Amino acid sequence: MATLTSDLKNKFKYGSVVIKFIFINIALFLFLRIAGIICTFSNADFNWLLQFIECPSDLGSLIIKPWTIFTYMFAQVEIFHIIFNMLWLYWFGSIFLLVCTSRQMIALYIYGGLLGAIAYIAAYNLLPYFNGIQGQLIGSSASVIAIVVATAMRCPDYKMNLLFIGPVSLKWIACITIIIDLISITDSNAGGHIAHLGGAIAGFIFAMMLSNGYDITKGFNNTIDTIVNQWNRLKDNIRRQNLSSSKINSSEQTQASNNSKSDSDTLDEILDKIKKSGYTSLTAEEKKRLFDVSRRIK
């Protein structure tokens, strides 16, 4: 068990950003599944927990739980949902990293999820089809599809071997994916398909702008760099303050030790003189020193 845990830690630590995203999604999936089992057998409300992770279509609820616009894109509760998303993330993400950077992928994953959530919320609040209906969005599909579309546009003729079909160009896989979402937009998961299309638009914009020499992920990454640098600077300041305080305390302790040793020697010398010649033999200076040392020792 210890070896397995160590292996997983090393894979996460040294793995690509694709592996890290997959680990995060799987970890949250397992947490939610275990929590769901516990809630089921204890007759607790599992939806009470989900409300802190799912992105709500209701603007009032979103204002109260703004973090859900990020958390939803890393969570799945259905086994086939996470299997499908993680396979696509692994396949297309690995190809994406051949032509783009890890930093670009992180930003695009977030962009895809955010644009998917925006499309979902806008649809529920603006389209008559959703009048009187509230929804909860969960799943990394929008983020994954953003990477799928961006990869297909950057490497349109790169072929992927599909089971029972054979090699197929990425551009056709992306097109079929979008078409499926479009023709399924009125089924029971209409909001989910709209979120997928939002993610696809994010991937499209990223690839188009990058082809024209502009990286839309640069602003995101610069912001993250600024936050990280500020955090590191704060930690360095705290570390220096602690080090300075430690040096001062050490200096004070050394000085106190030296003073204590000096006082002890002085007292011994004066007491020896009193023993040999009596108190009256002390000079005025020695009497003063005896008084000062006695006061400090007390």
> Domain holding 133: CATH number?
1.20.1540.10
How many domains would you assign to the chain?
2
Whole-structure pTM value: 0.78
In a domain, 98, yes or no: yes
In a domain, 228, yes or no: no
Residue that finishes a domain, picked among 164, 196, 216: 216
Mean pLDDT per 10-residue section of the chain, whose length is 298 residues = 77 89 96 94 92 94 96 95 95 95 95 97 94 93 96 93 87 93 90 95 96 92 89 84 72 57 66 67 70 62
144 and 252 in a single domain? The answer is no
At 1 the pLDDT is: 64
At 255 the pLDDT is: 59
At 238 the pLDDT is: 85
- Segments in the chain forming alpha helices (H): 2-14, 17-41, 46-50, 59-64, 68-71, 79-99, 102-126, 141-154, 170-183, 190-211, 218-277, 284-297
In a domain, 74, yes or no: yes
Crossing angle between the packed helical segments 2-14 and 17-41, to the nearest 10 degrees? 130
Identify the CA nearest to 22 among candidates 5, 34, 32, 8.
8
Quote the domain boundaries for residue 206.
2-216
At 2 the pLDDT is: 67
Q: Which tokens in the block code for residue 162?
A: 């599909």
Residue that finishes a domain, picked among 172, 201, 216: 216
At 54 the pLDDT is: 96
3-state secondary structure of 160: strand
